[in-house]
Copies of this chain bind each other. A is one copy, B any other.
Amino acid sequence: MTVRLAQIVEALGGELVGDPRTPVSRLASLASAGPEALSFAVSARYEAALRASAAGVLLVPPALREAAAPQAALIVDPHPYLYYARLTQWWRERERASQPMPTVHPSAVVDPSATLGPGVSIGPFAVIEAGASIGEGAVVGAHTVVERSAEVGPRTRLAPRVVLGAGCRMGARGVVHSGVVIGADGFGFAPLEGTWVKIEQLGAVRIGDDVEIGANCTIDRGALDDTVIEDGVKLDNLIHIAHNVHIGAYTAMAGCAAVAGSARIGRGCTIGGDAKILGHLTLADGVHISACSVVTRSITQPGTYSGFFPIDSHAEWEKNAASLRSLHKLRERVRALEIELKNKT
């Protein structure tokens, strides 16, 4: 796909400096861009990399205009990172427009009682069960299963090999990547004389609009009430959301994070990769958890919270870990020294 620089600026704005007919056939990083590519720098910090770049078009903030102008055609915009995000969307949309028209693949199994909106695309071997509904312009990938009475909102894209469980709801304009399982049973058992009696999970999963869910995530259905994910939440890969969790709007979680049952996370939080939230806790709006930290108590104040063991050479770590195992005794020894010294005075 090749476009002219002028087409980009016409669609997305910004100031064009140089030849509007400059062709752009891909977007690239400063280091890998050639004359056929558009690249970008968000701040003066990237000036050296920018000067070394062979990009044919550069997207820069006003502060880099002078540095960049001699070597390439420019788009000058006060928010180049945001401009870049929108440019990637525009680019992807154009690529998609060149692909075949949406259609229901003849191999898909669609129950006659399912509702398909106009312009939906249903991939090979997809299964749409009884009473399910697929909103206008939604995409259901190959091998994806939309179970009984589940709902997919307008323009949402389910990648190949997703399961949306019975009665679960995915909102509009969402993206669900491959391998995601929405609506498996929450982990609930009543103990009985050393064995476990299953508690059937009768709730569902309700997911808002503009939500993205990364590959191989699992979001369990609620025990009685629903598991809820509000609008604009973004989940990276391999995240586990247990039953009856509630995640507030626009919260983002990085890869391998997990939230145990009935925890409630506020709006606008960020949860670092591999961070874990234990069950039944509440996190306020605007809480930021560092990667690999374990949240064991509710957090009522916004702010950044951390807790993981610092890495070191194995030999140093081993000595410190050994000392750590008797830390409370060390504390007592210091207390004893303080008292002894005080008594001497």
A274 and B273: CB pair below 8 A? Answer: no
A334 and B324: CB pair below 8 A? Answer: no
A sample of 27 inter-chain contacts (CB < 8 A) reads A27-B224, A28-B225, A84-B199, A85-B190, A89-B200, A92-B202, A160-B163, A163-B178, A198-B212, A214-B218, A216-B238, A218-B238, A236-B242, A237-B240, A255-B260, A276-B292, A294-B308, A305-B311, A305-B312, A306-B318, A307-B312, A307-B317, A309-B324, A323-B328, A324-B327, A330-B331, A337-B338
Q: A177-B184, A187-B214, A258-B273 are in contact. List 13 more A-B contacts (CB 8 A).
A: A91-B202, A125-B127, A143-B143, A177-B185, A178-B184, A194-B268, A196-B252, A296-B310, A297-B311, A319-B328, A327-B327, A333-B334, A334-B337
Q: Which of A314-343 contact B (CB under 8 A)?
A: 314, 316-328, 330-331, 333-334, 337-338, 340-341
CA distance A145 to B143 in the complex (A): 9
Q: Which of B89, B127, B141, B296 contacts A160 (CB 8 A)?
A: B127
Q: Which of A181-204 contact B (CB under 8 A)?
A: 181, 184-185, 187-190, 192, 194-202
Chain B proximity of A94: nearest CB distance (Å): 11
A250 and B195: CB pair below 8 A? Answer: yes
A325 and B320: CB pair below 8 A? Answer: yes
Residues of A at the B interface (CB closer than 8 Å) are 26-29, 31-32, 39, 81-82, 84-86, 88-89, 91-92, 105, 107, 109, 123-125, 127, 141-143, 145, 147, 159-161, 163, 175, 177-179, 181, 184-185, 187-190, 192, 194-202, 210, 212, 214-216, 218, 220, 224-225, 232, 234, 236-238, 240, 242, 250, 252, 254-256, 258, 260, 268, 273-274, 276, 278, 289-297, 303-314, 316-328, 330-331, 333-334, 337-338, 340-341, 344
